[in-house]
């Protein structure tokens, strides 16, 4: 099959590689200039202009969009008869405009917590002073989430301090943030693929680990790791109270892709925080461990609005980010950058565990055949595993990481630990899992 992968920043590069490995003819376009070097030497056919390839992919092939912000283009391609998977225009809005998401969640019957959007920091500060509470700062419409902050103090003083700093360092035009009342509980994502008409495949549960340091400490990152499991129990209380309620809405907006709601749950409450209306990262990479059916077939069925009997592995999955400095920040000077650093992976491990290793911002040199970091940010690769238990999966991931050397690399060695010790017993007791 001919597959055209349209990528914003190479997030879907690992998927493109897997599609290529399945024997499909794959052409990959990477939009952002700073990311165009990723997967050089790994993906066979990187292109400069995806629109020129529409004729090549045709109406029988598949077009994959890997990020939000391209929904309108996807809708228009579908109208023209192309098979497109990824998201849609209103899906982008649901993810990028949190207030829109919160309205939809409440209108389909989910319980929501207080929140407000601000385009002016002074107004946000004034608002917290009038409504003292522990408020969370959430950045709207940006890919980077480094302005997010979870308030700790009940009078909101710490959140005000963060906003006072942002006032000094951010350009005024940059302000588009939500304040949401902090909710205490277990954070868990509930997702499922949708083909424009109905759900396809099992329900996906995941728990993200966004903090940079073990123990949930430090600044927030995209994600340092995730745990995941699949379930075919459609009666699950958490699924029924959240993602399942969105079916009619997703039909109305013509959504085709992976849909997920991230929630905070407690004994008596389920609060949806935000929706992901596209492939999630590193959820997609970890899904590759669960899926036994070929990706190409599965995604084409979704794009065509067809049912598909997805074959998948039962068990617990775990994925770890292996990063290098200056992650999660950007290099201000070349000496802080990891670009060009060699990625050394034991050849035996790379051969036998290649499908557990998800290269991200990496390229393979034509000169020496070696792998190198292809960005200054140090978002290098993920390692994943699915086993019967989380212990086994984590052991395999750590074993593989032992065979990887990227000078100055770091990773969290506690992914899933909090889940096993604290969250799983709570979720079980409350009847969610």
Partner 1 sequence: MKKSKRTIEQDKFSVEILDHNSKRVVDELVCLEEKCFPLEMRNPSSDDYYSAVLNDPKNISLLLKYKGKVVGFLVAKEYKRVYDSLSNHDPDLRENKKRLFYVDLIQIHPRFKINGGLSLLVSKLIEKALEKDLQGFCLHARKKNGLSQFLQKIFDCKRLHSIDNWLGFGEQFDYLEFAINKKIVKKIIGKLNPIHALN
Q: What are the beta bridge partners of residue 381?
A: 322, 359
| Binding of partner 1 by 98 (CB under 8 A) | yes
By CB under 8 A, the residues from 159 to 198 that bind partner 1 are 181
From the list 32-40, 51-59, 107-115, 352-360, the region that binds partner 1 by CB under 8 A is 107-115
- Torsion region of 315: left, alpha or beta (phi above 0 gives left; psi -120 to 50 gives alpha): left
Q: What is the spatial distance between Cα 28 and Cα 63, in angstroms, rounded to a whole number?
A: 10
| Binding of partner 1 by 72 (CB under 8 A) | no
Shortest distance in whole angstroms from residue 149 CB to partner 1? 18
Among 34, 47, 54, 108, binds partner 1 (CB under 8 A): 108
The pair of structure tokens assigned to 394 is 């984590």
Q: Which lies closer to partner 1 via its Cβ, residue 198 or residue 339?
A: 198
From the list 17-25, 145-153, 185-193, 241-249, the region that binds partner 1 by CB under 8 A is 241-249
Among 23, 58, 107, 213, binds partner 1 (CB under 8 A): 107
User: Distance of CA 406 to CAs 26, 343, 352, 401, 431, Å?
Assistant: 29, 5, 19, 10, 42
The pair of structure tokens assigned to 159 is 């959140």
Q: Which lies closer to partner 1 via its Cβ, residue 44 or residue 111?
A: 111
Half-sphere exposure (Cβ direction) of 18: Cα atoms closer than 13 Å: 27
Query: 34 with 247: CB under 8 angstroms?
Result: no
User: Distance of CA 173 to CAs 100, 145, 176, 224, 391, Å?
Assistant: 21, 17, 8, 30, 47
Shortest distance in whole angstroms from residue 247 CB to partner 1? 10
Q: Which helix (H) or strand (E) holds 5?
A: strand 2-7
Q: Which lies closer to partner 1 via its Cβ, residue 55 or residue 248?
A: 248
| Binding of partner 1 by 335 (CB under 8 A) | no
| Binding of partner 1 by 127 (CB under 8 A) | yes
Q: Which lies closer to partner 1 via its Cβ, residue 101 or residue 282?
A: 101
Tell which residue, 28, 25, 29, has the closest CA to residue 2: 25
Q: What is the spatial distance between Cα 396 and Cα 315, in angstroms, rounded to a whole number?
A: 14
Q: What is the spatial distance between Cα 222 and Cα 212, in angstroms, rounded to a whole number?
A: 9
Shortest distance in whole angstroms from residue 127 CB to partner 1? 7
| Binding of partner 1 by 31 (CB under 8 A) | no
Shortest distance in whole angstroms from residue 299 CB to partner 1? 25
From the list 106-114, 198-206, 296-304, 373-381, the region that binds partner 1 by CB under 8 A is 106-114
| Binding of partner 1 by 103 (CB under 8 A) | yes
Q: What is the spatial distance between Cα 302 and Cα 282, in angstroms, rounded to a whole number?
A: 20
Q: Which lies closer to partner 1 via its Cβ, residue 101 or residue 328?
A: 101
| Binding of partner 1 by 56 (CB under 8 A) | no
| Binding of partner 1 by 101 (CB under 8 A) | yes
From the list 115-123, 207-215, 393-401, 417-425, the region that binds partner 1 by CB under 8 A is 115-123
Q: First-to-last CA distance in the chain?
A: 39
Q: What is the spatial distance between Cα 375 and Cα 339, in angstroms, rounded to a whole number?
A: 5
| Binding of partner 1 by 119 (CB under 8 A) | yes
Binding mask 247-276 for partner 1 (x = CB under 8 A): -xx--xx-----------------------
From the list 109-117, 356-364, 380-388, 401-409, the region that binds partner 1 by CB under 8 A is 109-117
Query: 109 with 301: CB under 8 angstroms?
Result: no
Shortest distance in whole angstroms from residue 93 CB to partner 1? 6
Tell which residue, 60, 80, 64, has the closest CA to residue 20: 64
Among 52, 114, 340, 422, binds partner 1 (CB under 8 A): 114
Q: What is the spatial distance between Cα 167 and Cα 169, in angstroms, rounded to a whole number?
A: 6
Q: What is the spatial distance between Cα 76 and Cα 72, in angstroms, rounded to a whole number?
A: 6
Q: What is the spatial distance between Cα 162 and Cα 145, in angstroms, rounded to a whole number?
A: 14
Shortest distance in whole angstroms from residue 58 CB to partner 1? 29
Shortest distance in whole angstroms from residue 272 CB to partner 1? 12
Binding footprint of partner 1 on the chain (CB under 8 A): 90, 93, 97-104, 106-108, 112-120, 123, 127, 130-131, 181, 246, 248-249, 252-253
């Amino acid at each position: 099959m001919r597959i055209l992968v349209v990528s914003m920043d190479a997030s879907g590069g690992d998927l493109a590689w897997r599609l290529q490995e399945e024997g499909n003819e794959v052409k990959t376009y990477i939009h952002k200039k700073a990311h165009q070097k990723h997967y050089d030497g790994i993906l066979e056919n990187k292109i400069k202009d995806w629109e020129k390839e529409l004729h090549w992919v045709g109406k029988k092939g598949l077009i994959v969009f890997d990020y939000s912000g391209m929904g309108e283009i996807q809708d228009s391609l579908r109208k023209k008869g192309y098979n497109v998977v990824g998201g849609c225009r209103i899906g982008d809005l649901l993810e990028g405009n949190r207030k829109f998401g919160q309205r939809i969640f409440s209108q389909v019957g989910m319980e929501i917590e207080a929140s407000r959007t601000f385009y002016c920091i002074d107004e946000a500060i004034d608002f917290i002073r009038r409504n003292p509470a522990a408020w969370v700062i959430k950045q709207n419409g940006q890919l980077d989430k480094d302005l997010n902050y979870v308030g700790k103090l009940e009078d909101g003083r710490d959140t005000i301090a963060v906003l006072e700093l942002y006032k000094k360092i951010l350009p005024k035009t940059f302000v588009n943030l939500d304040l949401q009342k902090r909710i205490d509980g277990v954070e868990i994502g509930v997702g499922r693929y949708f083909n424009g008409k109905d759900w396809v495949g099992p329900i996906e549960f995941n728990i993200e680990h966004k903090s940079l340091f073990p123990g949930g400490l430090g600044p927030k990152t995209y994600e340092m790791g995730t745990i995941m499991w699949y379930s075919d129990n459609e009666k699950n209380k958490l699924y029924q109270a959240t993602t399942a309620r969105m079916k009619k809405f997703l039909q109305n907006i013509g959504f085709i892709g992976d849909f997920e709601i991230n929630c905070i749950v407690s004994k008596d409450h389920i609060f949806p925080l935000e929706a992901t209306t596209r492939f999630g990262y590193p959820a997609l990479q970890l899904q590759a461990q669960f899926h036994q059916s070929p990706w190409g077939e599965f995604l084409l069925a979704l794009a065509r609005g067809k049912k598909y009997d997805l074959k998948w592995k039962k068990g617990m999955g775990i994925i770890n980010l292996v990063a290098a400095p200056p992650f999660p920040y950007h290099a201000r000077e070349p000496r802080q950058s990891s670009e060009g650093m060699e990625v050394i992976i034991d050849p035996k491990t790379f051969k036998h565990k290649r499908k557990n290793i998800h290269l991200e911002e990496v390229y393979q040199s034509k000169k020496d055949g070696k792998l190198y970091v292809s960005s200054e940010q140090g978002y290098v690769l993920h390692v994943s595993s699915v086993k019967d238990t989380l212990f086994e999966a984590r052991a395999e991931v750590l074993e593989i990481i032992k065979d990887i050397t990227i000078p100055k690399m770091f990773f969290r060695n506690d992914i899933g630990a909090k889940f096993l010790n604290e969250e799983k017993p709570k979720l079980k007791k409350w009847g969610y899992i």
